[in-house]
Structure 1
Amino acid sequence: MSDSKNAASHIAFLGLGVMGYPMAGHLARAGHGVTVYNRTTAKAEKFAAQHGAAFAPTPRQAAEGADFVFSCVGNDDDLRSVTLGPDGAFAGMKSGAIFVDHTTASAGIARELYAEAKKRGLGAIDAPISGGQAGAENGKLTAMCGGEPEIYAKAEPVMAAYSRACRLMGPPGAGQLTKMVNQIAIAGLIQSLSEALHFAKSAGLDAEAVIDLIRNGAAQSWQMENRTGTMLAGAFDHGFAVEWMRKDLAICLAEARRNGAKLPVAALVDQFYAEVETMGGKRWDTSSLFARLERK
């Protein structure tokens, strides 16, 4: 990542959810002029008051005059709603402005928006993120990017306000494909950790002591370091929600059908998450796969 300090820019940020709100805050604190848009206007008003920023009633108005337009929304349809059409951001962006999307979405929508941006004389980068709410709040996200190198080079120093790792992975859509790899890996890791803890308890072992020992060996992972305690405590009211992971896994499985990849574990874990949802865990943390195994 570049260490050079980026000159202050005029920035629009679309979507102030659990990730977008703190990310936009980092941009404001970095000295950029920020205008925000959110579907719920009250949250945009709160952000503006907190950070001395501006807010706009439509994505188009937020994007007018901006050097960079960032978005972090829910899915492909949400992306189309904030970018396309008469009130979409693309209608308000000036020639040469750059659109950077942090939504976890399909590679198809990334390519679609890139092509539309190109027609309008705009740049576009798909840049899904990893690191969760804590990473967003602490400015330590990982951004996986797809797009043209020269456009990425302009956007990367601005993304440095909230990222500790940022890399161009290939052409448009490559960022979204890389995020799919990330989610596939996480799904298998959480299920494996859940089974390990469940087995330890069933075998009469002190699960906490077991983890304290094996975390020093080859089994160590971020999930083991950050989720073991809460899993054993049955606390799942935090972190990345099951319904969001299922949305992401659906994207992964759809892409696998297109490219011929075999994802038997990811498909099975998605079914397990469906069971967690029937247990009332739609908004539980993804580590709640453990609760599914522990239920009587």
Structure 2
Amino acid sequence: MNYTKVMEAVKKIKETYSGKPRIGLILGSGLGVLADEITAPTVIKYHDVPYFPVSTVEGHAGQFVFGKLEHQEVVAMQGRFHFYEGYSMQDVTFPVRVMKELGVEILIVTNAAGGVNELFHAGDLMLISDHINFTGTSPLIGQNDDHFGPRFPDMSDAYRLDLREQARLLAQNLEIGVREGVYAGFTGPTYETPAEIRMMRTLGADAVGMSTVSEVIVANHCGLRCLGISCITNMAAGILDQPLSHEEVIETTEQVKETFLTYVKALVGNVK
């Protein structure tokens, strides 16, 4: 990843937005509604930022929203990029590096995921405790740029324990039932087969999806503290006798919208 390109993107954004966001939010499929809660918003379309890809998936608006949320200065990615859209892993994670250079310290990553743990139900929220990278690649492959981080970054606390502890306590106070588990990242765009899901369960995965892993790798590389939240939008292949669809994903996120909004807003307002 080219440091000069990142700084050109940052410079372009600062022509429109002069603030310094402390918290970054990456909003997954159907979860972009959270950005509508940001007050005094400054909206910057991805296509107006140099070197940015463009979101092509339903439920991803394709814009940055800067402003205040629960008295915190934030930037929300209303729509993310995916490896299956044909972008490189470096392109997919480019916005994470841009957010870091804009001043972000904490990154809250959300996604829509399939439930692998048979105790889960569609509509559950899951704090990500760790991940399994099943994409077969990494956004850090290639020459390392020390501007961003070390050649061999540590991933033993990728989803920060201190943030998860705060998130668990907040959920209790709000009386919101929150699961916790391991997220397995695949490339997509096909949904996983029943055999792959059985394998994932054997390996210790609780949920599966097509994003997040590469973003969190890069966030850790450049020193961001990460918190991950999956919305379990459907049970993964082979658990229920029904086909999987993106329409179901969007429908479930709509159903849990209010709980999701309440929880993430509380997190933004309280995380330290």
* TM score, norm. by length of structure 2: 0.31
**Larger proportion of helix:** 1
**Larger proportion of strand:** 2
* TM score, norm. by length of structure 1: 0.29
Report which of the two structures shows the higher radius of gyration computed on alpha carbons: 1
